[in-house]
Amino acid sequence: AGQWTRLLPLTSVLPKELMPINGKPVIEYILDECIKSGIKEIILIISKRKNIIKKYFYNDVFYKNLIKKNKNDKKLKFEYSKIKKYKKMIKFVYQNSPRGTGDAVLKCKNLIKSKYFLMLMPDDLIINSNCSASLIKLHNRYKSPIIASKKVNKKDVSRWGIYSVKSKINKKNFIIKDVVEKPEIKYAPSNNAVIGRYILPRIIFTKLKKLKKGKDGEIHITDAIKKLIYEGNEFIGHNFVGKYLDCGTMEGYIKSSLKISKIWNFVL
Ligand code: G1P
């Protein structure tokens, strides 16, 4: 239910998730990453204000009428079959007030039956390599929760959750000592930023239920992870290889669009 004030003015009417990058809504990049990594069930947490996202996947009448009139339009049929494929996998959950990432995830409690689940933030695009697939692979090996991460500029640490390292597994993977939500530079334990891909254990719901408001008065997933770490649960930080595109700010969104179009032009 994020407000997306960072992407105004368009987001005053259009949810950020439907904003196009190279002609494709941001959300489809995220869905494609999940599907390619083997995920079969997807929950989208939206708000009443963002119901147009659900409509996007439930627009059968629109497509059927168009296809009736344009029976030979392959592109049209392709788009409709793609939307139908997504729709089959997606359930919608509502968080009508923006109370934070932790509160949003808690809304999925009754739908998540498996011991672990993958969580993705739609404003973080990762290209050139499937980050979710890497996280799943790592999880299957270590049986631990995993957080995707990148080193960021020290001066920008207050934009992300930041974690400190307890020990090194290898060049790309670390056991996390502590994590803090968007610290000021002087309190940041490092410049290892949490990027929006996590494999979380279902027991996190027990922490989320009891969690008090944190930074900026919101319930943060970061604070629930911190509690689990303090109780002795092992969390791995994984420095992924793909290119991270931050679509959560206007500058980032524009840069991401340029970057992805460049890749496409190259492919074409
Ligand atoms: C959220 C998390 C933050 C994380 C970031 C990644 O923040 O709270 O810990 O680093 O996603 O994008 P948000 O971008 O929703 O403000």
Residue 174 pLDDT exceeds 90: yes
Query: In this structure, how many other beta carbons lie within 10 angstroms of the beta carbon of residue 142?
Result: 15
pLDDT in tens, 11-48: 888 998 999 999 899 999 999 999 999 999 999 999 99
Please state, in angstroms and rounded to a whole number, the distance separating the CA atoms of residues 209 and 106.
7
Cβ distance 219 to 100 under 8 Å?
yes
Using the structure block, give the residue that is written with the tokens 């009443």.
48
Mean pLDDT of the chain: 93
Query: In angstroms, how far apart are the furthest CA atoms of the chain?
Result: 63
CA 143 to chain centre: 21
How is residue 220 written in tokens? 């943060």
pTM given for the model: 0.93
Q: Hey, whose CA ends up nearest to atom 15 of ligand 1?
A: 101
**Opening angle at CA 209, ends 206 and 215, nearest 5:** 115
214 three-state secondary structure: coil
Give the ligand 1 atom nearest the CA of 161. 9
Pocket of ligand 1, candidates 121, 220, 225: which has the most ligand atoms within 8 Å of its Cβ, to mutate? Answer: 121
Cβ distance 256 to 20 under 8 Å?
no
Cβ distance 203 to 109 under 8 Å?
no
Please state, in angstroms and rounded to a whole number, the distance separating the CA atoms of residues 201 and 207.
11
Among candidates 131, 122, 124, 39, which has minimal Cα distance to 85? 39
Q: What is the mean pLDDT of residues 167-179?
A: 97
Please state, in angstroms and rounded to a whole number, the distance separating the CA atoms of residues 148 and 242.
11
Residues within 6 Å of ligand 1 by CB: 101, 121, 123-124, 160-161, 181, 193-196, 220, 222, 248
Q: Strand pairing partners for 198?
A: 119, 147
Q: Hey, whose CA ends up nearest to atom 10 of ligand 1?
A: 160
Please state, in angstroms and rounded to a whole number, the distance separating the CA atoms of residues 89 and 36.
13
The DSSP string of 107-143 is: TTGGG--SSEEEEE-TTEEEESS-HHHHHHHHHHHH-
pLDDT in tens, 102-138: 999 999 999 999 999 999 999 899 999 999 999 999 9
Among candidates 16, 241, 219, 48, which has minimal Cα distance to 123? 16
